[in-house]
A and B are shown apart, each in its own frame.
Chain A
Amino acid sequence: MKSIAIAFLVLLLPYVTMAQDFKWDANVHNFQRLAYQGNAGWGWNGAALSGSYFFEHRSKTKIETGLEYGFNGISHYVFAKGAYHYVNTISDSRWWYSAGGQIFQGMALFRPSPLYMGGLGVEASINYQLRPKLALGLSMGLRHYGSPAYGKYSQVNRFWDLPIGLHFRF
């Protein structure tokens, strides 16, 4: 539990330390399973909602931190999410795209006690600036996650998913 608490604190640190301008992002994800425990296996594997914010690191890179709640092949879960994105605007248009890597730290929500769950991912998105302060985007990525402790209860505790997302940034 201590490691989970530390992960949350680290990932949420920018909320209290950053004073610069940032953008909120609300995201809905659908997960398609690609593989589990080293076996290929296509199928629907859950969905998630996330809320996060982006703040500028350099002119073309942004850091994202946030929370994600959803359900997947293991259980319902909550993740603290951190990501680093490369962002590029397509010249003379309202279109821009981004690509980046993500880290997830959190827990699978079980009774009587939750189990640690973590993962890594990559994601690319294409976005359209609807208004100066509102953009709509579609994203697709690859995510690997697992819960080592769940391996005591199940033969399958690791998954590769294809997350497909729709997000608003404002």
Chain B
Amino acid sequence: MKIISKVMIKQIPWFFGMMAISIFTACSYLGEPLEDLAIQNRMVDQGDYIILQHASVNPTIGFVFYPGGLVDPHVYLCWMDELISRNHEIMVFSLKIPGNLSIFKNQHGASIPKDYPKIRHWLTGGHSLGGVSAAAMANRNPAPFSNVVFLGSWVTENYTLNQPQYRVLSISGSRDGLSTREKIDENEAFSPPRFIVTDPTIQSGQINNVTEFYEIPGGNHSGFGCYGLQNGDNEADISVSEQQELMLTAILTFIETLQP
């Protein structure tokens, strides 16, 4: 037992060393203060998720969104508010997960549809690591989550979506330094067959078994939220608002043709 105690005491510097490394690497990206966004009356924080909803309409489309890894969920409110403003039928559920790491709770959004029976259409999606979690949830819950939106993300081998019931919108940025085109292409086989879109207003015309892939020219990884430039990402050739305008157009086009 003395040996065990000595070994444990020797581990103390390692313990604090690992702690220091983790502290250095585990900082979440934070966006703009809410008062700058002026959306307080359209959002409600439910503890497990943030709801964005246009007050005047009963929504019929639910969008369950997984934030990127180590990214505060509020950094996406800048474009989510615009999304519900352009289509009042949409209700967004931006998930909140301890430590901002959705891999700890990738089925977090699965129970939401039970609480909102009036919503007829559901889609899920995520940014970066959040997209992987969204795929994991869609993989286990194809009904109702057969529509999936990836922002700088892809499907992994463990949670494939290459079955006929899925319809996927994959949006990437040509300047993305983290979710590069090479990585997305390597995992193409785990999604439905790809249909490349060069204009965000164009769609495949299929209601399932398709991955509509749209690469934003000059867009980067960080431009899918409002939090500055992420470590390892490239500088974008277009502004964040330009990137998000193209992204929103693609998402709204995708939503227009949701399976009835």
A residues adjacent to B (C-beta < 8 A): 24, 26, 31, 33, 36-37, 39, 41, 43-47, 49, 51, 67, 69, 71-73, 75-76, 78, 109-112, 114-115, 130-134, 152-156, 168, 170
Contacts and interface: CB of A to CB of B under 8 A. Distances in A.
Given A152-B34, A153-B33, A153-B34, A73 B98 contact: yes
Interface string B4-44: 11001100100110010011001111111111000010011
B74 A154 contact: yes
Interface in B100-158: 100-101, 105
A26 B23 CA distance: 18
B9 A170 contact: yes
Contacts of B228: 111-112
A45 B98 CA distance: 6
A110 B47 contact: no
A156 B94 CA distance: 14
Given A39-B47, A43-B47, A44-B98, A78 B23 contact: yes
B27 A156 contact: no
Nearest to A43: B48
A110 B23 contact: no
B83 to A, nearest CB: 19
A3 to B, nearest CB: 19
A152 B23 contact: no
Contacts of A24: 8-9, 12
Contacts of B12: 24, 51
B123 to A, nearest CB: 24
A118 B22 CA distance: 20
Interface in B66-80: 70, 72, 74
A114 B29 CA distance: 10
- 8 tightest A-B CB contacts, nearest first: A71-B99, A155-B45, A46-B98, A76-B26, A131-B1, A152-B33, A41-B47, A110-B30
Contact of B27 (A33, A49, A110): A110
Interface of B: 1-2, 4-5, 8-9, 12, 15-16, 19, 22-23, 26-35, 40, 43-48, 50, 70, 72, 74, 96, 98-101, 105, 228
A111 B29 contact: yes
Contacts of B32: 153
Contacts, number: 111
Given A69-B23, A168-B8, A46 B99 contact: yes
Given A76-B23, A110-B29, 11 more contacts: A24-B9, A26-B8, A41-B47, A46-B98, A49-B19, A69-B22, A69-B23, A73-B47, A73-B98, A109-B26, A156-B47
Nearest to A151: B34
Contacts of B96: 73, 156
A134 to B, nearest CB: 6
A133 B1 contact: yes
Contacts of B47: 33, 36-37, 39, 41, 43, 73, 156
B29 A133 contact: no
A51 B98 contact: no
B34 A76 contact: no
Contacts of B8: 24, 26, 168, 170
B31 A153 contact: yes
Contact of B19 (A39, A67, A115, A155): A67
Q: Which of A24, A78, A154, A156 has its CB near the most chain B CB atoms (within 10 A)?
A: A154
A154 to B, nearest CB: 6
Contacts of A37: 45, 47
Contacts of B70: 76
A156 B48 CA distance: 10
A156 B43 CA distance: 12
A75 B99 contact: yes
B31 A72 contact: no
Nearest to B71: A111
B16 to A, nearest CB: 7
Given A46-B99, A170-B9, A110 B72 contact: yes
